[in-house]
Structure 1
């Protein structure tokens, strides 16, 4: 019985060693392929026959230099017949939304752009839809939230309780406004209000221009509230209810872009990056499944059981 237990333990140790070396070999192979692919990476990632380019806009929106370059190439690429912007984002930085808005506006000057909203297309996510010639949303899409948010907090009282005092030496009274270590002064609050108001005015101008709406009407809608897709249609912020199928139908009927054309996603990651990502995921999967999933101890919360 003891001999059987020893043999079983030896087999498990051997299996772990083989698994590790197998994973390392796979990782090395993918790394070599990634290196070769990176050296031979073509200058454009939009080559190919006629197609509709899909731009997924997911999660937090920030400025992405490589994405801007890819979109600028798409604007002059004759194989790109139209651009479909698929948005599922709660927003992001004002500068990131502005950069994406500008890149899509440059494309819209040359070819059709249609935006399709998913679960959420709010704030900078809604800003990204504004250059589109057609904007579609689901009935339950959460959109709008046209506004600007600047948040800070003050830790002075908390730090005082533990005997910590912060001192700031500044070149002017507004240099440390806002500060984590002291309350906003009246002068600092007024200065930040002016910043937020200016950014908000820029956003409202984008809405008025993109939706061909009277600026006064746009300001009424730009109080930060969110809308459902149906409410957004009624308010004039969205053109119609629908998804990608309706977007393709509109492109075919109104812009003569056949719905038989293939769709290709914008991918700003190089082949090398994609290979390395796949290798890393595979490596971690092997280690986790073999080292932790076979006979390692488990401490998991499983409320469904």
Structure 2
């Protein structure tokens, strides 16, 4: 290669490097501008009197970001009322309990209504019962008040393939029930006590919030699901409808100013997260069939797989999982 050709190649390389440097600077500048605009728009939106709407969808977990959002809404003077848009089959009882308590904290200082979409079952209904007014469509699904524990007995499968699992335990009930052997009666009795303790608490919560006797609540708490119409007759729902009914209740029953804008409020990501980056992440999650609202890949995968630890209140338990649902 001649000196002239070598010089030309170097100049071409410099031009390419310069182009990509400029492109990188432009991209960063756009990201900063987008983030600043989103932050400014968010501040403007939250500074005006409003009704805050929070969507609670999919699997119910102990979502710290959601809990922080609910706590902020409780203290924001511009938020005159809160509506929970619920569309969930349930999830962990700890998740339902924590969100229920956050909802009750808001209701101590401002009106809260629950608007049921397709369904608010199990822990989803637990959260709805924390509101002062529950609105559902005629064909929505509500109820499924109860708790379930499922575990796998793979002992016959292991025997078939010639695998034997041994264990040395400090006590007979340690790590019971085990998937490696049939559950002893003592373990079944232990789990039943656990289930019934949580069940009694759940039923008492519904009885208190829906102004029922324990007997009336237990009659509905056999795991049955109800349509919105049936729920209205059974006093699990206060009214049929949607946003208009929620507005009517806020304005006529709780004295909220008419025609306040309803602002969708979402949990904030931790750290400095540009809106365009968050949008790109949501788009990628959506392509792979994951929940685009998830703040991290771990959360998105767990929601997709239905991974639930601990006590769970769920209308549609996912097959193959070993946990209390």
The bucket for the TM-score relative to the shorter chain is: 0.7 to 0.9
CA 209–34 in structure 1, closer or farther in 2 if over 3 Å, else same: farther
Distance 2:80 2:29 in 1: 35
Distance 1:31 1:139 in 2: 50
Which deviates more, 151-160 or 188-197? 151-160
CA 100–185 in structure 1, closer or farther in 2 if over 3 Å, else same: same
- Please give the secondary structure, in 1, of the residue aligned with 2:202: helix
CA 127–171 in structure 1, closer or farther in 2 if over 3 Å, else same: same
Deviations 1:155-184 (A, max 9, x none): 111111111111222222111112111111
Judge conservation of contact 1:51–1:82 (CA < 8 Å) in 2. Answer: yes
| Match in the other structure for 1:160 | 159
| Match in the other structure for 2:322 | none
| Match in the other structure for 2:294 | none
| Match in the other structure for 1:196 | 195
- Please give the secondary structure, in 2, of the residue aligned with 1:131: coil
Distance 1:115 1:157 in 2: 47
- Please give the secondary structure, in 2, of the residue aligned with 1:105: helix
Which runs of no fewer than 5 residues in structure 1 stay unpaired?
1-20, 287-305
Please say if 1:262 is aligned against 2:261.
yes
Distance 1:145 1:221 in 2: 9
CA 29–109 in structure 1, closer or farther in 2 if over 3 Å, else same: same
| TM-score normalized by the length of structure 2 | 0.73
Q: How many residues align?
A: 262
CA 159–98 in structure 1, closer or farther in 2 if over 3 Å, else same: same
Distance 1:102 1:35 in 2: 38
Judge conservation of contact 2:31–2:274 (CA < 8 Å) in 1. Answer: no
| TM-score normalized by the length of structure 1 | 0.78
Judge conservation of contact 1:50–1:80 (CA < 8 Å) in 2. Answer: yes
1:102-181 paired onto structure 2 within 5 Å: 102-181=101-180
Please say if 1:279 is aligned against 2:280.
yes
Return the offset for 1:235.
Answer: 0.6
Judge conservation of contact 1:31–1:279 (CA < 8 Å) in 2. Answer: no
Return the offset for 1:213.
Answer: 1.1
Deviations 1:170-226 (A, max 9, x none): 222111112111111100000000000000011011101111111111111111100
| Match in the other structure for 1:217 | 216
Judge conservation of contact 1:30–1:276 (CA < 8 Å) in 2. Answer: no
Distance 1:50 1:184 in 2: 57
CA 283–267 in structure 1, closer or farther in 2 if over 3 Å, else same: closer
CA 278–229 in structure 1, closer or farther in 2 if over 3 Å, else same: same
